[in-house]
Amino acid sequence: MNLELTDIDEDDLVECAELFVATFKEPPWNEKWATDDAFDRLASFLGCPNTISAKTISNGRIHGFFIGEIHRIAL
């Protein structure tokens, strides 16, 4: 399987939300997420300043993704 790493855009959020729900319903999390709630959470992250995100795709399907916000700390 060849995986391609690319940025996430808003058009990917439905598929990412579905993957999020499918992943977190399994152990060890056993969480009950609605797809709409997962979509809203991911959209909120994606809209933050200093957000970094990427997805892996193969054959037109998203197989994994990450979304995070970079925080600057003073040392």
Beta strands in the chain (DSSP E): 4-6, 51-58, 61-69
CATH of region 4-69 = 3.40.630.30
Reported as a pLDDT band with limits 50, 70 and 90, residue 72 is confident
The crossing angle, in degrees rounded to 10, of helices 35-46 and 13-24 is 120
Between 22 and 68, where is the model more confident? 22
The domain ranges of the chain are: 4-69
Reported as a pLDDT band with limits 50, 70 and 90, residue 74 is confident
| 34 to 40, 42, 58, 65, 75: CA distances (angstroms) | 10, 12, 25, 18, 39
pLDDT number for residue 69? 87
Residue 20: which of 31, 8, 4, 7 has the closest Cα? Answer: 31
DSSP secondary structure letter of residue 48: S
- Per-residue pLDDT of 10-40, as tens digits, reads 999 999 999 999 999 999 999 999 999 999 9
The reported pTM is 0.88
Residues in the chain: 75
Q: Is the pLDDT of residue 1 over 80?
A: no
